[in-house]
Every structure is written in C-alpha cells, then in structure tokens.
Amino acid sequence: MSGWSVTRRLLLGHGVSAGFLLPAGLVRAATTPVPVTHKPGAHPRQAPQSPAAPPPLVMLDPGHGGKDPGAIGISGTYEKHVALAAAQQLQALLQHAGQYRVELTRRRDVFIPLEERVARAQGRGAALFVSMHADALADHQVRGASVYTLATTASDAQSAALAQRENSADRFAGSAFHGVPPEVARILASLVRQETRLDSARLQHGLVGELDRDIPMLQNPARHAGFVVLKAAEIPSVLVEMGFMSNRQDEAELRRPEHRARVVLAMKRAVDAYFATAGHATRMAG
C-alpha cells in the first residue's frame, strides 16, 4: 500500500474516496489541474471559493451524573460534581482562544449512558474526546492524576478495576462503513483504528507531560484499559483521572476552583500542542 494516502478525514469526513483504491500515480494524474487559456481581452471567471472549514470540535465528557454519583470523597464530595465543574472550566478556557468548538456530553446533573456519550461525539463529528473523572480506591494514601487510553488488556490490575467500575456496559462497537464491500470495510476500519490509537497515545503523552508540571501524578500515570467511553474507532479519546476522591488531599484540592484551574490549564496546553503538530495539521487540511 506504499504511496496510498489514507487519513481519517478522507475516510470518514467525506466517505470512502475512489482515490483510496488507486495507486498514487493515477491519483496524481487524475487530480492534476489542466492549464486553461483565455482569448485576448477576455476576463477569466473567478472560481467560487469554498467556505472555510469550521474549527475542530473538542468533546468534553464530565463523568457520571444524575443517579450515578461516581466516587464519593471522604468528606462527601461527589465525583459527578467535580467532573462537571472541571469540564465547564476547561470548556471556557478552550473557547476563549477561538481555535476550537467545544461541547459537553452533559451540561447539568443528569445521567447519560456511556454508549450515548460516545454516540454524541460521533454524531457531532468530534476531533477529540476527553472524559474527565476523579477515582476512589480502598487505599486512601494513593493520590495523583493519571491519563488512560483504550486497550483490550489493562496495563495493570488497578486500571482493570477502574475500567470495571466506570463501565456500565461494553456493547459499543464503533461506526461502520456503509456502501463498500465487507473486505474493504474491514481494511478501512483497521486503518482508522490504528491511526486513532496513535493519536490517542500522542494526546495522552502530552497530557501527562503538562499535568506533571503543575499537579501530583500517580505512579506510571500513562495507563490503558477497556473503557467504554474510549471506544469510538475514529475519534482520538482519552480518560483523565484528575485525582482520587478517596484521598483527603486530592479531594480537598479538587473542590477548589483554583486547583481545578491549574488542571484544566495544563490540559489546554496539551490540546493546543496536539492540534499544532504537523501530522494532525496534515490530516485536518483540505
């Protein structure tokens, strides 16, 4: 497949292009503009300009909500409230610069099934999906933030237990390719998943580096497990645990807007770096 150009935008933004099935030389030949000459004195017509592409959409997912409080802190703080407050702060920060569109999977204290959260991101054409949480453990001494990506096998027992707590179901299978033969659909889906995994890992790396500058981090903070909300095959997705509600220090810090401001500022820097990379700029172009 050397010389073929495959991008998430080509495959999913505009459907499956015929160019995907052609060698690169034929694609270039088919897309090379033909010179046009004009009679003397004639004024060439100006081609209509296509509208500018909208800014990329970042979908923020405040964990839990409604009848699902999530983790409950030592002093009674609900994870669902901390997650929503932090997501709202991050939304305001990202929108202020005007580089992104930002939406939340929930804007108030309501319960939304995990699969519906993913479906909302897919339906809106999100470029990133960031789920925000604050976990709890039986060991109240453990504290610090961590960032998770999707994997069928958890990186450690703690991550496996976390994913089991966060998941209410595991039935989401991702979007399908319609109107193409099954064997082609399988190839395309595999390519998209591979690209998505790489982008998710790149965002995870940036988030860990930026968060580590400002707040305490869990040991080995870049982890992975089978989270339902990270299963959109075509959207780079991460889950950020901002700390532990079971730790008295973390809980107290997460209740404070000033501390959450440090968390979300670090997350914004990571999002900015993600979109600024040459590789992503190439995928967003055209």
Note the pLDDT tens digit of each residue in 265-277. 999 999 999 999 8
- Name the band, by pLDDT with cuts 50, 70 and 90, for residue 226: confident
Nearest partner of 186 among 119, 126, 129, 233, judged by Cα: 233
Residue 239 inside a domain? The answer is yes
Return d(Cα 242, Cα 207) in angstroms, integer. 11
Per-residue pLDDT at 2 exceeds 60? no
The CATH number covering residue 78 comes to: 3.40.630.40
Domain count, the chain: 1
Residue 20 inside a domain? The answer is no
Residue 203 inside a domain? The answer is yes
Residue 23 inside a domain? The answer is no
Residue 14 inside a domain? The answer is no
**Mean confidence (pLDDT) of the chain:** 77
Residue 18 inside a domain? The answer is no
Predicted confidence at residue 162, as pLDDT, reads: 53
User: pTM for the whole thing?
Assistant: 0.72
Pick the more confident residue, 111 or 39: 111
Residue 215, domain extent: 57-284
Predicted confidence at residue 45, as pLDDT, reads: 63
Per-residue pLDDT at 23 exceeds 90? no
Residue 228 inside a domain? The answer is yes
Residue 47 inside a domain? The answer is no
